[in-house]
Structure 1
Amino acid sequence: MAQDLSAPQPAPRRALRVLRGAARLLAAAGLAVDAYVHAHLAGSYDAITESISQGTLFRIEAGLASLAALLVLIWRRPAPDFFAWLVAAGGLALLLVYRYVDVGTLGPVPNMYEPLWTADKRLSAIAQAVAVLATVFLLSSRPRTPGRRRR
């Protein structure tokens, strides 16, 4: 049976839709800022290399964050929301680890330890944290489909 979308919705349900829409915009914006910062900085990190350069890793992060931002906006399902969370949470975790811990070289990954907070690093950390929080909200507030039972 089709649902009449033009019929007025109860206020709590409408409010949840608005909040979820705002969360999608925040997640996409945070991921877009993260993508911009990593793409912008990639060239200056090309010299830090083992088998793969830090600049290449930054480009990969920029690409993944761009894809996640796009998907979270256009595909309103748990899978892209979870992918966006993985990209943001993984990027933030790595940023914090390489800020506070001298991990050293890990196989083909160069030593990316950088014990200072630059303006770009702060901006990226804030953007990733916003995206993490927004995607957690999206994943935890998913409306249940009436008539479907969880198994």
Structure 2
Amino acid sequence: MGLILRLLVAAGLAADAYVHWVFAPDMAFVEGGAIGGDLLFRVQAAVAGVVAVVILTYATRWAYALAFLVAASAVGALLFYYYVDVGALGPLPAMYEPVWYTEKTISVVGEGIAALAAAAGFLLVGRGKREDDEVLEREPAGHI
């Protein structure tokens, strides 16, 4: 089960990274804020890619937590900027985009799957070890 969760998280984050990297040049024309939309998309792509490698390398609670934060924040941002036109938010450019297209669907599905799988991985990773520790505590030291 752990390998499947890791692959789901990594695949979802890879889809996120790919879509953000491909669309980064188009975001150079987004106005407002101190950070350009193209830079924002490239950073998201890089972070998602790095965290995908991290989750494949380390199946720890912190790795799943990190993956969840990256994927869930990406889903949140995508949905927020689809429904709400807030303009520039501090250093962030005005990213409002009330249209839906294939690449956006790929991104939100990948991010959503990654977030759900990362949450499940976070909850399941330490569980087996704790159950083993509880069994050891209940059994006498000399009992095998």
Normalization by structure 2: what TM-score? 0.86
Q: Which consecutive residues of structure 1, in runs of 5 or more, have no partner in the other structure?
A: 1-18
Which residue of 1 is the match for residue 83 of structure 2? Answer: 100
Structure with bigger helix share is 2
**2:119 is aligned with 1:147:** no
Question: Which residues in structure 2 correspond to 1:76-87 (within 5 Å)?
Answer: 76-87=59-70
* Structure 1 residues 2-151: aligned runs within 5 Å: 19-49=1-31, 50-142=33-125, 143-145=127-129, 146-147=132-133
Gaps of 5+ in 2: 138-144
* Structure-1 separation of matches of 2:133 and 2:66: 27
> 1:28-76: CA deviations, max 9, x gaps?
0000010000001001111214311111100110011001100100011
Q: Distance in 2 between matches of 1:68 and 1:125?
A: 17
| Number of equivalenced pairs | 131
Q: Which runs of 4+ in 1 moved over 4 A?
A: none
Higher relative contact order (CA 8 A, sep 6+): 2
Q: CA RMSD in A?
A: 1.3
**CA distance in 2 between partners of 1:147 and 1:126 (Å):** 37
Deviation at 1:144, TM superposition (A): 3.4
